[in-house]
Copies of this chain bind each other. A is one copy, B any other.
Amino acid sequence: MSSMLRSIHIVGNIARRAFRPIYGTRLMSAYVDPLSGQPAELPDIQHGRLIIDKNEQPTPPPPSETLVFGRTFTDHMLTIEWSATNGWEAPHIKPYGPLNLAPSSSVLHYAQTLFEGMKAYRTDDDRIQLFRPDMNMKRMNNSARRIALPTFNGDSLLELIKKLIRMDRHWVPKEPGHSLYIRPTLIASQQAIQVSPPTEAILFVICSPVGPYFPKPVSLYATTEYIRAAPGGTGAFKLGVNYAPAVMPQKMVAEKGYSQNLWLHGPEHYLTEVGTMNMFVVLKKDDGDLEIVTPPLDGMILPGITRDSVLQLLRDHISGTRPIRGLDKGEKLAVSERGITMKEVKDASQTGKLVELFGAGTAAIISPVHKIGYLNEDIEIPTGPDGMGRIARAVRKELSDIQWGKISHPWSVPVDE
**B111/A148 in contact, CB under 8 A:** no
A-side interface residues, number (CB < 8 Å): 62
Task: Give chain B nearest CB distance to A89 CB in angstroms.
Answer: 17
User: B residues within 8 A CB of A387?
Assistant: none
**A248/B148 in contact, CB under 8 A:** yes
Task: Give chain B nearest CB distance to A74 CB in angstroms.
Answer: 11
**B243/A234 in contact, CB under 8 A:** no
* A240-B70 in contact given A227-B232, A230-B230, A251-B197 (Cβ < 8 Å): no
Contact flags A73-88 to B (C-beta < 8 A → 1, else 0)? 1000100000000000
User: B residues within 8 A CB of A206?
Assistant: 103-104
Contact flags A313-342 to B (C-beta < 8 A → 1, else 0)? 000000000000000000000000000000
For residues 182 through 216 of chain A, which have their beta carbon under 8 Å from a beta carbon of chain B? 183, 185, 187, 191-197, 204, 206, 208
User: In the bound complex, what is the Cα–Cα distance between A135 and B247 (angstroms)?
Assistant: 25
Task: Give chain B nearest CB distance to A67 CB in angstroms.
Answer: 12
Task: Check if A69 is an interface residue, CB within 8 A of chain B.
Answer: yes
User: B residues within 8 A CB of A15?
Assistant: none
Task: Check if A102 is an interface residue, CB within 8 A of chain B.
Answer: yes
Tell me the number of copies of this protein.
2
3 tightest A-B CB contacts, nearest first = A111-B240, A230-B230, A111-B111
Known: A99-B108, A107-B108. 17 other contacts (CB 8 A): A69-B194, A70-B193, A96-B103, A98-B100, A109-B185, A109-B243, A110-B243, A110-B244, A111-B241, A111-B244, A146-B245, A183-B193, A197-B251, A226-B233, A230-B233, A233-B233, A241-B245
A/B interface sample: 9 pairs, CB < 8 A:
A70-B194, A71-B191, A99-B108, A108-B187, A111-B244, A148-B247, A183-B193, A195-B250, A197-B248
- What residues make up the interface of A, taking CB atoms closer than 8 Å to B? 34, 37, 68-71, 73, 77, 96, 98-104, 107-113, 115, 145-148, 183, 185, 187, 191-197, 204, 206, 208, 225-227, 230-234, 239-241, 243-248, 250-251, 255, 276
